[in-house]
Amino acid sequence: MLKQRIATALILLVGLIAMTTILDLEQFAAITAALVLIGAWEWAAFASLGSKSRLAFVGTLALSIAPLWFALGVGGAPGYDASFALGFSLLGALFWVLMFAAIASFPRSTDAWNDKSRISVMGMLSLLCTWVGLVSLKALLPNGALVIMLIIMVAAVDVGAFFTGKLFGKRKLAPALSPNKTWEGVWGGVTLNVAVSIVFAILLNNYVQPFSLIDYAIFAALALIVAFFSVVGDLAESMLKRNRELKDSGSILPGHGGLLDRIDGLMAATPICVAFLILLLGGV
């Protein structure tokens, strides 16, 4: 099982790097939109939507991407709108802060997760914020380095947490949601993420723009926040799956389950990362 997970993760990583570096902004936005729609199909299961309602949910998300495409300035004049991206990303960050509050109140708040409309709106907002965020990272640095940076940072949290938890995990993080996650694993993920983030900060300093000491401090804070939101995203999906008695969001990825099982942490980390980087890199 572990070998299958690693093999799938490596194939995904290579594919994402190729997609991010080779495609232009419009092509990247289109492929990312297709992936988000797959995520929407899986999210519909969290709301227990029937087949027709599921198709309607995916269709509504697709129609919602169209105006965002133009508002964000993908491929049109006057070009990428960082101010719009910042506002939308701050909205997404607020959503995930509220999700953290929901996680903290689980399982007392179980009844709140039986409302199909509420879960559908949550999915719509989180998936749209993910699409806007990833496209924004590509627009900020067209070679795709920022997209790859965020993906690797979130992956570092996962990898660090998995192996540290296996070796040293004792204190349960959220037994009602995910019995295998431990506080030791969380700190292992945070530590690896900070180390990876320092490397990226040095690369940005050398190849994008000079960093001051305060910029490095802000970047260190970003690493911690990305790690925090990555865990929140993971636990939020666990909460939704547990509420519907689902083991995985789908079966599209061998060893991982569904697409959402692989990108749950990325979904939560993307808005706050985009907001930080737009401000840090002077995108507005």
Packing angle, helices 2-22 and 25-46, rounded to 10: 140
CA 82 to chain centre: 19
pLDDT of residue 181: 84
**Considering the chain, what is the average pLDDT of its residues?**
85
Half-sphere exposure of 39 (CA within 13 A, CB side): 27
Residue with tokens 């949290």: 157
User: pLDDT-based confidence at 284, cuts 50/70/90?
Assistant: very low
- How many H-runs (helices) and E-runs (strands) does the chain carry? 9, 2
Greater pLDDT, 257 or 254: 257
Structure tokens at 71: 């508002």
Give the mean pLDDT of 124-136.
95
Task: Tell me how far apart the alpha carbons of residues 137 and 145 are, in angstroms, rounded to a whole number.
Answer: 8
Q: Give the Cα-Cα-Cα angle 163, 164, 170 (nearest 5 degrees).
A: 125
Structure tokens at 96: 């995930």
Q: Could you read off the pLDDT of 67-77 as tens digits, one per residue?
A: 999 999 887 65
Q: Could you read off the pLDDT of 182-213 as tens digits, one per residue?
A: 889 899 999 999 888 888 888 888 887 788 88
CA distances from 126 to 115, 166, 177, 232, 241 (A): 17, 30, 20, 13, 16
